[in-house]
Amino acid sequence: MTPLIIAIDGPAAAGKGTLAKRLAARFGLPHLDTGLLYRATGRRVLDAHGDPADPATAEAAARALRPEDLARADLRGPEADAAAASVASIPAVRAALLDFQRDFGRARGAVLDGRDIGTIVFPDAPAKLFVTASAEARGLRRWRELAGRGLAADLAEVTAQVRQRDAQDAARAAAPLRQAADALLLDTTELDADATEARALALLRERRGIVPPG
Ligand code: C5P
């Protein structure tokens, strides 16, 4: 039997990561937060005082990534967000990170969350979810996340940054953020993490006949 791939895509702070972790636990699958690959690449460039928009510098950083880079504590926050979105728009960076993502999923199946999992990384995945929410709800979530980490920020500014990053991710030529034709849409504007998980499980069961083992 082909191992199960669950592809979760959507804009920033829509609840993809939390949902991906929960589905991974339910289905007994490994989870890969693919945003970490772009964040760690951007961070490497920043460490070397390079320009995240420079293709050669960013590609070299992507090719030099080590597993421990993904566990760094400084991969979140406005600076890392912007650097990630910058390197992510470079085709050579995406190409350098593609095999890692595919190998990760092929071995035992996986839940992967990102922007292009259902469109580019695993276009044949049987289970694709496109998770979204209003920009206001996503801005508030990101603001709360920052506050929880002791980082004071202005809500309007955080919401504007979230919108700006989505616009950049959706407008780029290389693997833009978009819903795959066969992805199931899940709007989490009014849903908490429990309700989001319940809705995702219901969609997978009712629309794809996919249920967790056991
Ligand atoms: O998901 P996260 O917010 O951590 O992703 C950070 C950035 O990495 C995104 O804004 C996007 O530019 C990029 N990304 C991507 N493709 C993915 C995952 C993330 O382009 N599959």
> Is the CB of residue 39 below 6 angstroms from any atom belonging to ligand 1?
yes
CB-count burial class (<10 Å; 0-12, 13-18, 19+) for 96 = buried
pLDDT at 126: 97
Q: Ligand 1 centre and the CA of 84: distance in Å? A: 7
Distance 35 CA to ligand 1 centre (A): 4
- CA 1 to ligand 1 centroid distance, Å: 30
Would you tell me how many other CB atoms lie within 10 Å of the CB of residue 198? 12
**Residue 214, pLDDT score:** 85
User: What does the pLDDT read at residue 151?
Assistant: 86
Q: Is the CB of 84 under 6 A from ligand 1?
A: yes
Structural domain boundaries in the chain: 5-207
Cβ–Cβ contacts within 10 Å for residue 21, how many?
Answer: 16
**Among 132, 130, 121, residue whose Cα is nearest residue 98:** 121
Structurally, at CATH architecture level, domain 5-207 sits in 3-Layer(aba) Sandwich (3.40)
Residue 177 corresponds to which tokens in the numbers above? 């953020």
| C-alpha torsion 136→141→142→145, nearest 10 | 160
Query: Is the Cβ atom of 101 under 6 angstroms away from ligand 1?
Result: no
Q: What does the pLDDT read at residue 189?
A: 98
The finding on whether 162 has its CB within 6 A of some atom of ligand 1 is: no
Distance (Å) from CA 165 to ligand 1 centroid = 9
Q: Ligand 1: distance of its center to the CA of 85 in Å? A: 6
Q: Residue 34: CB within 6 Å of ligand 1?
A: yes
User: Is 169 touching ligand 1 by the criterion CB < 6 Å?
Assistant: yes
DSSP summary character for residue 174: S
In angstroms, what is the span from residue 158 Cα to ligand 1's centroid? 17
> pTM of the prediction?
0.96
Averaged pLDDT, groups of 10, the chain, 214 residues long:
93 97 98 98 97 98 96 92 96 97 95 98 98 97 92 94 95 96 98 98 98 94
CA nearest ligand 1 atom 9, residue: 85
Q: Residue 37: CB within 6 Å of ligand 1?
A: no
CA distances from 57 to 13, 35, 68, 126, 213 (A): 28, 19, 20, 36, 44
User: In the prediction, which pLDDT does 78 show?
Assistant: 87
pLDDT of residue 94: 98
Alpha-helix residue ranges (DSSP H) falling in 53-192: 55-63, 78-88, 91-108, 135-148, 155-171
